[in-house]
Amino acid sequence: MNQLFKMAFRDLGRNKRRSSLSALAVAIGTTLLLFIASVLRGEMRGALQNSIRLQSGHLQLRAISYDESKDSLAWEDLIENPDQVVDQLHSLAQIESATPRLVASGILSLGDQSRGMRIVGLDPLAEPNQVFRSGILDGEFLDQEDHEGILIGKPMAEKFGLKPGDQVNLLVNTSDGTVDEQLFTIRGIYSTRTPYFDDSTVFMSLIKAQTITRTENHASLIFILLQDQDQSEAVAAALARSNYQVKTWQQLNELNTQFEDFANSFMYIFYLIVLGITATVVTNTLVMAVYERTREIGILSALGMKARRIMSQFLTEAFLLATFGVIGGLILGLLITAWVARVGFHIPAMTAYSGILLGERIYPFLVASDVIGLTLAAYIITLLASMYPATLAARMEPVEALHG
């Protein structure tokens, strides 16, 4: 075994440039695999976290007949006395915080410009809503008794050229199927660093939302955050005995899962392309080595070296190339991923994807399973790529090789 490695080192050293380039190809391939995997996982992880903190929570409590796709405001589709329900929920130790929200659809208009919006009525003092308070860029947050103020997102403010103190017209659907209209003053401009959400969501106080939609003392849902999100199924089961439907964060974010599955399918094709290029470089290197050492192979065969031994020789060279390349790629990939994970990077086209709350910046995130799986894949593909040149060398006839 030691002799095989010594000979392999010697043979690779005969053409250091070619061997180095082959190992570099493996290293670059491994680096790309790790980085792309970390970007995809970081993207979907960030989108899920954004959805949980801004929109879905860990759990949502709704009326049995509530249909989210319709944003129904009929009283039978809403939760009555939501504050009492929240007080009852806080008696459960697993629940960190809970707050009622009223969701309606409407149109924001300014002059000849208009835009369909999702209108959310919230309790300005509730803990889960402090994420919006901390995101105020200009102006001020809402008060509980504010009947004339709204918050709009930074993208909407930029498109309409709005600032705090400006007034806009808001048309809102009501519980009886009509539309109410009122002039509102912009209290503040917020940013959650989630462009799709910020561009389509207007906030007002829960009391005002109930008044303008004629849903006094009702809410569309109870937004719930848990001490531990892994307890969502257990808490949902405990709440299932109530007269409400309970949705977990997994159920509320099925689109994220579907998008991730689609992205993974696409990335597998990319992985195969990268590994294919890497395998081609390694195969080319070893095939050239076989033809350069044809006479040497013939001499070794004439002296009695078995074909299996010759094949092992070239496989050992491939093993060394794979080892150096994969270790180099692993180190480089981890360093690049760690650096980019600190600063993040911006992909404008992706942040506008409807329904997926992608952040302004993507922060790569690596898990051990990705590192192990992709590293092994690069290793195995490199070794498989060496089978053809190794077999080619092993099958050479001694006489023909000596004359080669």
pLDDT, greater one: 388 or 61:
61
Check residue 128 and give its pLDDT: 93
Rg (CA), the chain: 31
Of 362, 381, 360, which is closest to residue 35 (Cα–Cα)?
Answer: 362
Q: State both tokens at 220.
A: 């569309």
Rounded CA separation 306/294 (Å): 15
Number of Cβ within 10 Å of residue 355's Cβ equals 11
Q: What is the pLDDT of residues 164-209, one digit of tens each?
A: 999 999 999 998 888 999 999 999 999 999 888 999 999 999 999 9
Q: How many CB atoms lie within 10 A of CB 321?
A: 27
Q: Residue 126 corresponds to which tokens in the numbers above? A: 């509730």
What tens digit of pLDDT does each residue of 68-117 get?
777 788 888 899 999 999 999 988 889 999 999 999 999 998 888 888 89
For position 334, what pLDDT does the model report?
Answer: 92
- CB-CB contact of 283 with 389 (8 Å): yes
Report how far apart, in Å, the C-alpha atoms of 33 and of each of 279, 323, 326, 371, 403 are: 14, 16, 11, 9, 44
Number of alpha carbons in the 13 Å side-chain half-sphere of residue 278:
31
Q: Worst-scoring range by mean pLDDT, 67-71, 152-156, 158-162, 367-371?
A: 67-71
End-to-end CA distance of the chain: 29
Mean per-residue pLDDT over the chain, rounded? 85
Q: What pairs with residue 251 in β-bridges? A: none
pLDDT bin (cut points 50, 70, 90) of residue 401 is very low
Instruction: Count CB-CB contacts under 10 A for residue 312.
Output: 18
